[in-house]
Amino acid sequence: MPVRIALAQVDCELGNVEANLETARKAVEEAAEQRADVVVFPELSLHGYALGAVPGDESIGAHDPRLAELSRYGPDVLVGFHEDGRLRRYNAAGYLSDGLPVHTHRKLYLPNYLDWEERKHASPGHALRAFDTAHGRVATLICNDAWQPVLPWLAAQDGAEVLFVPTNSASGLAPGAIDTSVYWHDLLLNIARLQQCWVVFVNRVGDEGKASFWGGSRVLDPWGRVVAEAPHEVAALTVVDVDIGAVRRRRREMPLIEEARFGLVSREVARLMSEGTD
């Protein structure tokens, strides 16, 4: 049976968790009507990105019942939020199923350049784990996590058949800045082909300050082919069926990632650390 995934390419109101929860709830209900198995939202979809412009602390806990409630309409849900970790705050994405939290990924690599100042508002996570769902083994990479070559590889080595990539990618931040949509096109193609897995990229839309989020959410198969794509710059719900079994077929016909050489990797990383690299 194929797995039906809904890409919830939404806009959000900065700092207004209740309004964003309502937007998410409507998207989940619409996805349920289309018999989706999983709904994936963008990075920080319940809070917005420019957290420095929010006067108070609006972070919420990973076990907040309002999050779990989103998965009571039928589909599983992956939703982005600013997590209250008590002592620290995190840029997090929670996977929820049947009213229960299954897994929370905390963004590992926080950009701190140009207008991106995530280190001011979040601490980096400390672990990457693939996890089992009713629809296959998956892993989450939040935006800049996917730009670190080792992380998709680690997720695939941990058995991930689907990589969820919730994102806040914008254009127009600085003169001469890179065209992020072009970079994402090439990056996602690289990840899908080299890790031989499904890649589900969900970007937001809307404006915050100088940032204009461009959407363009898409799904790539284990051969790197784009099998579904949302429009640019407008909110949309895009539903696509994926064959999880295609991952095993692809990895069997061309076993690129089978020989991991963990001992080699461990030794070389230890050497670099002993030479003063952190």
Q: What is the pLDDT of residues 167-210, one digit of tens each?
A: 999 986 665 567 899 999 999 999 999 999 999 999 999 999 88
Span 87-98, mean pLDDT? 97
The pLDDT value given to residue 21: 98
Residue 123 sits at the vertex; the CA angle it makes with 118 and 124, to the nearest 5 degrees, is 95
- Return the percentage of the chain with pLDDT > 90, whole number: 90
pTM of the model: 0.96
Residue 248 sits at the vertex; the CA angle it makes with 243 and 252, to the nearest 5 degrees, is 140
Structure confidence by residue, pLDDT tens digits, 139-149: 999 999 999 99
pLDDT band with cut points at 50, 70 and 90 for residue 44: very high
DSSP bridge partners of 201: 165, 218
Q: How far is CA 192 from CA 4, 146, 224, 229, in A?
A: 18, 11, 5, 15
Rounded to an integer, what distance in angstroms lies between the CA atom of residue 183 and that of residue 161? 23
Greatest CA separation for the chain: 56
Residue 20 sits at the vertex; the CA angle it makes with 16 and 21, to the nearest 5 degrees, is 115
Span 120-126, mean pLDDT? 96
CB atoms within 10 A of CB 263: 8
Q: How far is CA 146 from CA 34, 108, 109, 139, in A?
A: 29, 10, 9, 11
The two tokens of residue 261 are 């050489």
Which CATH number fits the domain 3-251, given the four candidates 3.60.110.10, 3.50.50.60, 3.40.50.300, 3.10.310.10?
A: 3.60.110.10
Q: Is 264 helix (H, G, I), strand (E, B) or coil?
A: helix
The pLDDT value given to residue 176: 59
pLDDT reading at 63 higher than 60: yes
The pLDDT value given to residue 1: 81
Residue boundaries of the structural domains of the chain: 3-251
**Range of weakest confidence among 15-29, 79-93, 112-126, 221-235:** 112-126
Span 42-68, mean pLDDT? 95
